[in-house]
C-alpha cells in the first residue's frame, strides 16, 4: 500500500474527496474528452474455485487494519493498513540457503512414533487451518509407522518458542490410486486435531487454480544437505530449474515412468541443486501472482529422485498438485463450494 502524506496547512485544509476511503488526491474537473477503462474487473466470488476463495481469505490474515483519529475536527476515523508479512517477494536465487523465520509460513514437519528428535522426517505444507498436504509415501514410511504429529511455524528443527506449534493427526488420507512401486498418485492429506491459528508465522499456502510449469521454482525443507549427509537443522530453500519431460525420463531410464500430466521435474542443469532425503512431501512453490499478499502457490509436492541427490544435470520428480485439485478441494473444503 502506498502511503500518502497529508500536509495540513492552517489556512488551507486539504479537500476530502471521499468519506469512505479517505481520498485526498482529487481528480481534475472532467472535460468533454472521455476514455474507456481497460482495467479487468476482479472475478466474482461465484466464479472462483473454493481454493482460490480460501487463498484470498487466508492472505487477509496478515493484514491488520487500525483506525486512527482524523486530524480534522468532526471527520471520521481513518483506516491505516498494517502489513505484518514477514517476507517479501525477491528475485529468485540460485543456490541453497537458510530460510528466514516465517519466510515459508506454510512449511510443515512431520513426526512419527513418540515424536523424538530423530523421528521427525518428511515435510508437508499447511493448506487450510485443518489440513496438511504431503506425499503419500510419507504417511506411513517403513520403519516409522503412521505419521502422528505436525509441527508448524519453525525455521529450524531445534526451534522451541511461541511461534512454533505442534498438532496431532486425527486422519490420514492417502490418494486412492497411490502406487508405492511406480510413485504414481504420490499425494496425501493429514487432518489435524485442532484448528491452526493463522498469523504471520503460520499461514496456509495457496493451491494452483491453473496448470503451472514455470522455468524456475523454489523447494524448501529440512532434508539432507547432500548425498550421505545429515539432515539440516535449519529450514533450507533452493531455486530449481525446469527439466523437460524428455530430459526427466532419460535421467530415470526404464526404472520409472515419468507421467507428463501428473509429475513435474525440477533440478539444476549446471550446479548441484536438488531436494533430498527428508524433503519428501514438502512444497515446490512460486510466489503468488494473484495479488494475495504474503502467500505462495504450491505447484508440486516432493516425491522422488535418484539416490545420489544433487547430481548435476539430474532432476527430482514432484507431484503436479494442479492435477489433484478436485480431489483436494472435495476433502479439505467439503460442503463449502
Task: Specify the 3-state DSSP secondary structure of 331.
Answer: helix
Tell me which long-range contacts 25-30 makes (C-beta under 8 A, separation of at least 24). Answer: none
CB within 8 Å of 223: residues ≥ 6 apart: 123, 231, 232, 236, 275, 276, 277, 278, 279, 280, 282
Query: Which residue, 284, 272, 278, is CA-closest to 311?
Result: 272
Catalytic residue among 163, 275, 280, 303: 280
Catalytic residue among 51, 128, 137, 279: 137
Catalytic residue among 163, 186, 275, 303: 186
Task: Count Cβ atoms within 10 A of the Cβ of residue 128 and give its class: 0-12 exposed, 13-18 middle, 19 or more buried.
Answer: buried
CB neighbour burial string for 212-251, b if at least 16 within 10 angstroms, e if fewer: beeeebbbbbbbbeeeeeebbebbbbbbbbbbeeebbbeb
DSSP letter for 209, please.
S
Catalytic residue list contains 23? no
Catalytic residue list contains 106? no
263-267/236-242 β-pairing: antiparallel
DSSP annotation string for 9-66:
BTTBPPPP--TTT---SPPPPP-S------PPPPPPGGGS-HHHHHHHHHHGGGEEEE
Active site residues: 137, 186, 280
Amino acid at each position: 500500500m502506498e502511503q500518502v502524506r497529508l500536509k495540513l496547512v492552517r489556512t488551507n485544509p486539504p479537500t476530502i474527496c471521499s468519506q469512505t476511503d479517505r481520498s485526498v488526491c482529487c481528480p481534475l474537473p472532467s472535460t468533454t474528452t472521455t476514455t474507456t477503462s481497460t482495467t479487468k474487473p476482479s472475478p466474482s466470488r461465484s466464479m472462483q474455485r473454493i481454493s482460490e476463495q480460501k487463498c484470498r481469505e487466508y492472505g487477509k490474515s496478515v493484514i491488520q487494519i487500525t483506525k486512527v483519529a482524523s486530524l480534522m475536527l468532526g471527520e471520521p476515523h481513518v483506516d491505516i493498513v498494517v502489513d505484518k508479512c514477514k517476507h517479501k517477494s525477491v528475485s529468485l536465487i540460485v543456490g541453497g540457503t537458510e530460510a528466514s523465520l516465517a519466510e515459508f509460513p506454510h512449511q510443515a514437519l512431520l513426526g512419527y512414533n513418540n515424536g523424538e528428535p530423530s523421528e521427525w522426517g518428511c515435510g508437508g505444507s499447511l493448506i487450510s487451518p485443518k489440513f496438511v498436504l504431503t506425499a503419500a509415501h510419507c504417511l506411513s514410511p517403513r520403519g516409522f509407522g503412521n505419521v502422528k504429529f505436525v509441527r508448524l511455524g519453525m525455521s529450524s528443527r531445534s526451534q522451541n518458542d511461541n511461534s512454533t506449534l505442534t498438532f496431532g493427526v486425527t486422519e490420514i488420507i492417502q490418494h486412492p490410486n497411490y502406487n508405492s512401486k511406480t510413485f504414481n498418485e504420490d499425494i496425501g492429506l493429514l487432518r489435524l486435531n485442532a484448528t491452526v491459528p493463522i498469523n504471520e508465522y503460520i499461514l496456509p499456502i495457496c493451491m494452483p487454480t491453473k496448470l503451472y510449469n514455470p522455468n524456475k521454482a523454489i523447494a524448501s525443507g529440512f532434508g539432507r544437505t547432500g548425498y550421505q549427509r545429515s539432515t539440516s537443522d535449519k529450514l533450507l530453500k533452493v531455486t530449481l530449474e525446469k527439466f523437460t519431460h524428455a530430459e526427466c525420463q532419460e535421467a530415470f531410464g526404464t526404472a520409472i515412468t515419468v507421467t507428463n500430466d501428473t509429475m513435474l521435474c525440477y533440478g539444476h542443469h549446471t550446479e548441484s541443486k536438488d531436494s533430498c532425503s527428508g524433503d519428501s512431501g514438502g512444497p515446490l512453490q512460486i510466489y503468488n501472482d494473484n495479488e494475495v499478499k504474503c502467500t505462495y502457490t504450491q505447484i508440486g509436492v516432493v516425491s522422488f529422485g535418484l539416490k545420489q541427490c544433487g547430481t548435476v544435470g539430474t532432476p527430482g520428480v514432484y507431484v503436479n498438485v494442479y492435477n489433484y485439485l478436485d480431489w483436494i478441494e472435495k476433502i479439505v473444503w467439503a460442503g463449502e463450494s
